[in-house]
Amino acid sequence: MANKKYLIVGAGGFIGGHIVKKLLDEGNTIIAADIKPKKLWFQNFNDVQSYDEIDMKEYNNCLKTTNDVDYVINMACNMGGMGFIENNKTECMLSVLINTNLLRASLKNKVKKYFFSSTACVYNIQKQEESFIKGLKEEDAYPAMPEDGYGWEKLFSERMCRHFMEDFGLEVRIARYHNVYGPMGTYAGGREKVPAALCRKIAKAIIDKKSEIEIWGDGEQTRSFLFIDDCVEGTLRLFNSNHSEPTNIGSDEQVSINQMTDIIEKISGAKNLKRNYLIDKPKGVRGRSSNNENAIKALNWQYKISLKEGLTKTYNWIYSELKKDSGNYNKFCHS
Which of the residues are catalytic? 150
Parallel, antiparallel or unpaired: strands 222-223 and 255-256:
antiparallel
Measure the CA–CA gap between 221 and 27, rounded to whole angstroms.
Answer: 42
Helices (H), 58-176: 59-66, 82-87, 89-93, 96-108, 150-168
Could you tell me which of 179, 195, 185, 199 has the C-alpha nearest to residue 265?
Answer: 199
Q: Answer yes or no: are the C-beta atoms of 223 and 194 closer than 8 Å.
A: yes
Measure the CA–CA gap between 213 and 200, rounded to whole angstroms.
Answer: 10
> What percent helix, strand, coil does the chain show, rounded to 5?
45, 15, 40
Measure the CA–CA gap between 55 and 59, rounded to whole angstroms.
Answer: 9
- Would you call 17 exposed, middle or buried from its count of C-beta atoms within 10 A (0-12, 13-18, 19+)? buried
- Would you call 1 exposed, middle or buried from its count of C-beta atoms within 10 A (0-12, 13-18, 19+)? middle
Beta carbons within 10 angstroms of residue 303's beta carbon: 25
